[in-house]
Chain A
Amino acid sequence: MLVVVLMVSVASFALLFLTGDPTELLLGSAADVMSQQQIEEFRRARGFDRPWLVQYLGFLTHAARGDFGDSLRHHRPAFEVIWERVPATVQLGAVAFALSVGLGVPLGVISATRRGSVVDAGAMLLALLGQSVPSFWLGIVLIMIFGVYLHLLPISGRGTWLHLVLPGLTLAAFPLARNARLTRSSVLEVMHQEYVRTARAKGVPEFGVVYRHALRNALIPVVTVIGLQLGFLLGGSVIVETIFAWPGVGRALIQAIGNKDFPVVQAGVTMLAVTFVAVNLLVDLLYATLNPRIRYQ
């Protein structure tokens, strides 16, 4: 597990390095009035001229102690810059996750059990909409309707619980649609398998058939996908954060990448990797509860 975090850290450092060092970006317009020699001095003073491996090892020894160095842009600990955005990110992610699972999975189950009905068609139409509109478009439309025309909800920023509604919905749309569809297809498939037919033949009531025998197994691929989504929700919500001015980690990471703010990028990427590993553990646990038949080596 630590291996993964390490791999991510090395790779991101290397890739960022490939695109050039941050000297000119940091200097901004100052570079125009400085001589080449002065710029080199600046580069040397900050240590950007050392080979990347040396820089990385230097970073690693500090990181092991929890010190990611100071942000080049914010002039305070890079770890702080990322950590202070975690609560906002978790809130948004949690809301979107809850919506996408809490609405998506039941929707899929209902569609499967009432296959071919109006409910099924309606739900699948919603799912279609959810997966074919880009989040930035949906976000702007929701802002227009609920924020400007109807004046019902706050538009951007963070403040009350109401501020979470629009960004949460926007972020949840795609995973919700995906969960609904996947659950539906998975449940359908499982419902026709042997042991379900056996249970029916035995006279087990429909409710029991669906919810005890079928659902557990149907949920396995769904859980896999949900587990993957958490990574997306936490790190890939840049677009929602940009549209709604939500102070999350995603946007901080993008800005840091854009500013070549190595310490913050490292802090952010590492934090995301660690989170992801933790989520993996949860997903494994969930597997174990759903299907004890699955044996690991």
Chain B
Amino acid sequence: MTGARAAGALLGAGILALVVVIAVGAPLITHQSPAGLDIKNRLLPPVWAAGGSAEHVLGTDHLGRDLLSRLAYGARVSLLVGVSAVTVSGVVGVSLGLVAGYYGGHVDDVIMRLADFELAFPFILLAIAILAVLGPGLSKVILVLGLTGWAQYCRLTRAQVLGLRETEFVEAARTIGASTPRILLRHILPNAMAPVIVIASFSVAGVIIAEASLSFLGLGIPPSVPSWGGMLAEGRTYIERAWWLVTFPGMALMLTVLSINVLGDAVRDTLDPRLRGLS
């Protein structure tokens, strides 16, 4: 990696680290409770605007809850949801994709049918059904978001594997007598991972926004638990009246997404030996 790329990756990692720190250290940043309702002080603007108060640096939401603390505690929830759901989908999808692409035949057929099924099944219906049966809650939301994302990793990985399966270095490894798992893990997987990582880094943001969509439809995390997605959904009617309700979570989301993107690029570069040393 050259200096510029490394600097970029460092910045990305830095921002992400900051977000994580804020998430973990939320109670230290603000003494306000994210759940503390105070409807006498609802829709207060940030401290620097007219009517703002030092008690609530970033203002309050439509129920009088402090925005800064909701942002900080919300970081926890959003990051957790994003990372967990993507990890679940990713692990399941990539594994199935590797197997399907390499072995082919009946195995491939079955796995592809399952993937088709997952893709064809409307996400919303699955979300409504699961959440209606299991009840609302953070873990169930993660389950729903995880279960509805694996097929894309599966298909993507499979497509990559199909292309790589016949290349020279894989042939070489086979003639040496390397075992299948070794071939899969050491030779094919690293080369197939590049688009997967890009999609995964997209998906973290996508999942956080999907959680906002679930909140928009009234299906997400319970209202007392703060999350950036939930804040965006709840604040949408107040865009004109109270811009701070959507601007701050939106910015937080954007910065987090940016840092994950940059990091994703850097990880991809490291994994792909052919790109090392190129500017």
Contact = CB atoms under 8 A, between A and B. Distances in A.
Interface of A: 3-5, 7-8, 11-12, 15-16, 18-19, 116, 128-129, 131-137, 140-141, 144, 174, 178, 181-182, 185-186, 189, 192-193, 217, 220-221, 224-225, 228, 231, 235-236, 238-239, 250, 253-254, 257, 265, 269, 272-273, 276-277, 280, 287, 291, 293-295, 297
B246 A4 contact: no
Nearest to B155: A224
Interface in B234-272: 236, 239-240, 246, 250, 253-254, 257-258, 261, 265, 268, 272
24 contacts: A3-B113, A4-B117, A5-B120, A7-B117, A8-B121, A11-B121, A15-B126, A16-B125, A18-B132, A18-B133, A19-B133, A128-B257, A132-B257, A136-B213, A181-B198, A181-B261, A185-B194, A193-B274, A224-B159, A257-B125, A269-B125, A273-B120, A273-B121, A293-B163
A253 B195 CA distance: 33
Given A224-B159, A236-B123, A134 B198 contact: no
A228 B120 contact: no
Q: From B4, B132, B151, name the one whose CB has the most chain A CB atoms within 10 angstroms.
A: B132
Contacts of B156: 221, 224-225
A287 B213 CA distance: 32
A182 B195 contact: yes
B275 A189 contact: yes
B129 A16 contact: yes
Given A131-B205, A269-B125, A277-B116, 11 more contacts: A4-B113, A16-B125, A128-B258, A137-B246, A181-B261, A185-B268, A220-B159, A231-B119, A253-B122, A254-B124, A297-B108
A236 B257 contact: no
Interface in B164-215: 166, 194-195, 198-199, 202, 205-206, 209, 212-213
Interface in B134-169: 151-152, 155-156, 159-160, 162-163, 166
Contact of A220 (B163, B202, B209): B163
B195 A186 contact: yes
Nearest to A223: B159
Given A129-B254, A280-B116, A294 B162 contact: yes
Contacts of A134: 209, 212-213, 216, 229, 232-233
Given A144-B239, A189-B275, A225-B156, A132 B254 contact: yes
B273 to A, nearest CB: 11
Interface residues of B, number: 59
A16 B213 CA distance: 21
A221 B195 contact: yes
A218 B166 CA distance: 18
A193 B236 CA distance: 46
B198 A185 contact: yes
Given A134-B229, A181-B202, A192-B278, A141 B122 contact: no
Instruction: Report whether over half of chain A's contact residues are helix, strand or loop; otherwise say mixed.
Output: helix
Contacts of B250: 132-133, 137
Nearest to B151: A228
Contacts of B128: 19, 257
A277 B112 CA distance: 12
A221 B122 contact: no
A236 B272 contact: no
B254 A189 contact: no
B121 A12 contact: yes
A32 B91 CA distance: 50
Contacts of A18: 129, 132-133
Contacts of A231: 119-120
B258 A239 contact: no
A182 B203 CA distance: 12
A140 B194 contact: no
A91 B60 CA distance: 41
Nearest to B159: A224
Given A182-B199, A265-B125, A140 B160 contact: no
B163 A291 contact: yes
A238 B124 contact: yes
B194 A189 contact: yes
Nearest to A232: B123
A297 B108 CA distance: 10
Contacts of A236: 122-124
Nearest to A141: B239
Nearest to A185: B198
B184 to A, nearest CB: 18
Contacts of A276: 116, 119-120
B119 to A, nearest CB: 5
B116 A221 contact: no
